[in-house]
Amino acid sequence: MVDGRLVFSKHQLHRFPDPGEVVRRIREINGAT
C-alpha cells in the first residue's frame, strides 16, 4: 500500500495552486512523521 503523503509530496506538491495550502500540507506531513 502506497503512502499517500509520499505520493502527495512527490507528484502533487508542485502542481498545487495555493501556496498557503501547500504550506499546510507540508506541516501536516511533517507533523505526522
What secondary structure does DSSP assign to 4-32, as a single string? Answer: HHHHIIIIIGGG-S-HHHHHHHHHHHHHH
pLDDT in tens, 14-23: 565 677 887 8
Please report which confidence band the pLDDT of residue 26 belongs to, taking 50, 70 and 90 as the band edges.
Answer: confident
Q: Pull the grid cell for residue 15.
A: 502542481
- Over residues 1-21, the mean pLDDT reads 62
Higher pLDDT, 32 or 12: 32
Average per-residue pLDDT for the chain: 69
Q: pTM for the complete prediction?
A: 0.38
- Using only C-alpha atoms, the chain has a radius of gyration, in whole angstroms, of 9
- Over residues 1-26, the mean pLDDT reads 66
